[in-house]
Structure 1
Amino acid sequence: MSGLRKLIPLADRVLVKRAVPVTQTAGGVFLPESSTKKEPEAEVVAVGPGRRDQNGNIVPMTVEVGDKVLLPEYGGQAVQFGDEEFQLFRNDDILGKYQ
């Protein structure tokens, strides 16, 4: 995680870590990787300062570090840190946040 402190998203970008998909049923049966899909839920790891409007004012971000968010099925830029994978999304691409 020390590498994450070095990456600060620019403008209105958000760095997230997707939730781990379920690979085992409640009965103990392991599911094959082909049947598991990407979870639409993620945790915000880092946020940028926000984008600038036409007057040069910074538009604040709608999410904060630690928020649980709902992501679109496709999109985002994958970023690899060691053996962990994160994704960068624009603030506008995030569909919602959980409370």
Structure 2
Amino acid sequence: MPKAKSYVPPYPFIEVVWDDAASNSSTWVTIAEVTGPEQVITRGWLVKETDTFLSIASSVSNVEIEEDTVGNTMTIPKGMIVSRRALRLSTAKTKAK
């Protein structure tokens, strides 16, 4: 098996805070049990963005050795986004024994 080239991230890594719809799984609930939206934090590779939504993938292929494919995508309407920010990735170095 040939040695893989060093990995170069093909997309920006971001964090998105967004309001998600909420529901009760019970058939009947009291009005006091009705909940509002829930806030969610999603982190991943920003693989697609339009005027109305963005799509984040939790896995991306190494484009140096594989075709441009992504896995486990989440598409979030922009109207639901509370905030977003770019994240910087770093590699932790292990201590020598």
More strand by share: 2
TM-score of Structure 1 vs Structure 2, range by shorter chain:
under 0.3
Normalised by the length of structure 1, the TM-score is 0.27
